[in-house]
Structure 1
């Protein structure tokens, strides 16, 4: 297609390109098409003019001579049709160089403009290689730096992704740019779980990138396992040196076992009965750790122990001050314990209680405490030797009880007599003042008869 004035000369289309081959053809490499004036056939005008046209140019002197000749002919040519035709032929010959110059000047300006634009176009265009996650492609770009290139190509990167060179690096033709996406790895390394990020495509690459020593290690998946963009879970147990002490011998082995029990088994040591180890059998063995095997023998022993009861006291305004009456006797509880008597590696250990069971709960003792003031005296009984009678009957002890359990207190009342005198509970639980008061009341009723052996002390 031929373009006229004002039309674009960059007509070549940019071709598509594949991922590995550069098929791009810049516009400045395409042929620029523009309009040229056709060469007119020779016409009248003289030998000088024809010679100049054949040489490819127009001399200024010839044009001036032609113009003068034309004027002279116009004045000297006779009138008539023949003369007019001759003048017309000479006029067309004289105007030809001027018209041609006017037509060629705009085209020359367009060519100069296109030459400058093409130079700027070439300077901005760059051929680079972009590798995204291991897939390379060659492309042309007008981007000034790496960040602009990635934006133009629709490549989005995050904080865990790797871009080389840096996003603010200036681009030049021939540069190679690499983008590697980050992948999450839920890593359990020697029993400790954490989440890490890697730009490696395989488990082996991730281990190398994370600095994990993989020689002799246990891996939950193959080293060649690819890691997708969604990541994976990886369990790694590195090889460690662990010492097992058993039966007086030390055995050091290299292992990637997950538990202390597996280490003991790998060391060729057998546990039986109550045997155990110095660390829990399901604990993770550390590098340089020593696991001691404990040979255990022993028996279990059952022991029963009493649980003491509590005493609850309540005030009673019907009882004299100093009087305490037990309304509910307390009863101790019973606890049954199981003790382990062990011998560890030949040494007897302190008994260790394994279980404890409450067989019977304790019952509290309830006591009423008197708050009533005792009477001052009893007519007909004051002034007698009550202290002498008490010393004879009970040795002067308010809580004394005879061997049969029938009589109690200072004056050895039986419960029936005590209650008939207005007492509560047992006489031996009352205060000494209340016991003396009740004894005086008994004396006014029956004299010394209640005390056949010691009654004479009242008058002694």
Structure 2
């Protein structure tokens, strides 16, 4: 069996640094040998066996010693013997060198196992966009933060934030979308995570069967949201011309619902609720057939009375300085008949034709004299009863004489009276009558004069 002169020892390449030793340069084992190749994984050749002490010069040399000397001189046989000794008696230094390397391998193997155990494969879907990723996040909140997915109060996360994660889990994020919803005339802002109008209606619980929707139900809803008007189907009863009709409608106004019931309004016809109002579910609307005409009338405008104090007149005396005159206004009325029943006239227009003129009255403030010499003690009440029935405002049939004592205006004013005698107080009329008696006696009262002395 042939033995190679190049015996080597294997040294691993991942030996720890603290036991690392640089490779020694390679040299041929036998001096003068021409082959200088040595593989890169071989370690340096073991040191040559120590030489035995030299024999004394006078001691004879044995053949074995001669052979060893030949090995020291670079013989091939000496190299083979050294290799055989190394195989039969390995040194313990190799074991000490391999032990740290084995520990490093074990440590790396354990770290790799922990690395693999913490890595999780998660399926993340954000607003319908799905992807699979690997993460070391412990829960949903950490995963979303790592992936830069921000969520708000109106967004939906499933499973909920804070839920622990395991490999193979699915995490879904649905962003909220604002919708300005006008539902049956009522406007409000709502949020939905649906991506289409139809999905939003289902999510919001809106009864969409038979409803009017302002946009296509397949219309997508972006993150910015949209305006949406919905009118659900309602039951409305219409009473007209003695008939009752109940319909299902999603009309926007009472007028539209009446039209859908097949009823036409003519002229002044109207409804019991405003035609522009929103028809509620279960509402009853009565159609009123109206016929009518207009009538114009002239009406009086009362005049005002203005009173002024006059110290030249006796107390209690009132004199009309300016007669009042009523004004005139032209008023238009609407006369209506509703379903055959006449209604109270309704004034629709009024205009003034003539302004009223105020009545101006002077009111006396001068104290009356207590008596008139030569006339006191007469039966003035008897005379008044005979002339006027005791009425201060009495006026004869011709309109010439008035008051208690039936003065004509000319005589009255000649005695210091103002205005008409019948407008003066009774005390003043009696005072003026006494003055007239002093002047002319009982002649002004030819028929009733004798009563003064009776």
TM category, shorter: 0.7 to 0.9
The reply on whether 1:357 has 2:360 as its aligned counterpart is no
Deviations 1:43-100 (A, max 9, x none): 3568xxxxxxxxxxxxxxxxxxxxxxx7xx77x56699x9xx89xx99xx9xx95665
How much does 1:222 deviate?
0.8
The reply on whether 1:426 has 2:420 as its aligned counterpart is yes
Largest Rg, 1 or 2? 2
Q: Partner of 1:428: helix, strand, or coil? A: helix
Q: Partner of 1:184: helix, strand, or coil? A: strand
Kept after mapping to 1: 8 A contact 2:123/2:133: yes
Q: CA RMSD in A?
A: 3.5
What TM-score, normalized by structure 1, do the two folds share? 0.74
Matched residues in 1 for 2:118 and 2:345: separation? 87
**Map of 2:25 onto structure 1:** none
Deviations 1:168-190 (A, max 9, x none): 21122211111111111111222
Q: Partner of 2:391: helix, strand, or coil? A: coil
Aligned partner of 1:386 among 380, 394, 417:
380
Matched residues in 1 for 2:304 and 2:14: separation? 119
Q: Partner of 1:290: helix, strand, or coil? A: strand
Matched residues in 2 for 1:284 and 1:99: separation? 102
How much does 1:235 deviate?
1.5
Deviations 1:369-424 (A, max 9, x none): 43433211122222222223322332221112233333322223334443443333
Greater shift, 212-221 or 385-394, is seen at 385-394
Instruction: Mark the CA change 1:430 to 1:78 in structure 2 (over 3 Å): closer, same or farther.
Output: farther
Matched residues in 1 for 2:424 and 2:158: separation? 101
The reply on whether 1:201 has 2:195 as its aligned counterpart is yes
The reply on whether 1:215 has 2:219 as its aligned counterpart is no
- Greater per-residue helix proportion: 1
Matched residues in 2 for 1:99 and 1:419: separation? 166
Deviations 1:331-367 (A, max 9, x none): 445454444433333x323323141415355555444
Matched residues in 1 for 2:124 and 2:132: separation? 6
Instruction: Mark the CA change 1:106 to 1:43 in structure 2 (over 3 Å): closer, same or farther.
Output: closer
**Map of 1:442 onto structure 2:** 436
**Map of 1:130 onto structure 2:** 124
Q: 1:125-164 alignment to 2 at 5 Å?
A: 125-164=119-158
Instruction: Mark the CA change 1:445 to 1:143 in structure 2 (over 3 Å): closer, same or farther.
Output: farther
The reply on whether 1:289 has 2:292 as its aligned counterpart is no
How much does 1:135 deviate?
1.0
Aligned partner of 2:400 among 406, 410, 430:
406
Deviations 1:25-60 (A, max 9, x none): xxxxxxxxxxxx9541443568xxxxxxxxxxxxxx
The reply on whether 1:375 has 2:375 as its aligned counterpart is no
> What is the number of equivalent residue pairs in this alignment?
394
Unaligned runs of 5+ in 2: 1-12, 18-39, 58-68, 74-78
Kept after mapping to 2: 8 A contact 1:331/1:363: yes
What TM-score, normalized by structure 2, do the two folds share? 0.75
Matched residues in 2 for 1:115 and 1:39: separation? 26
Kept after mapping to 2: 8 A contact 1:335/1:356: no
**Map of 1:62 onto structure 2:** none
Kept after mapping to 2: 8 A contact 1:339/1:351: no
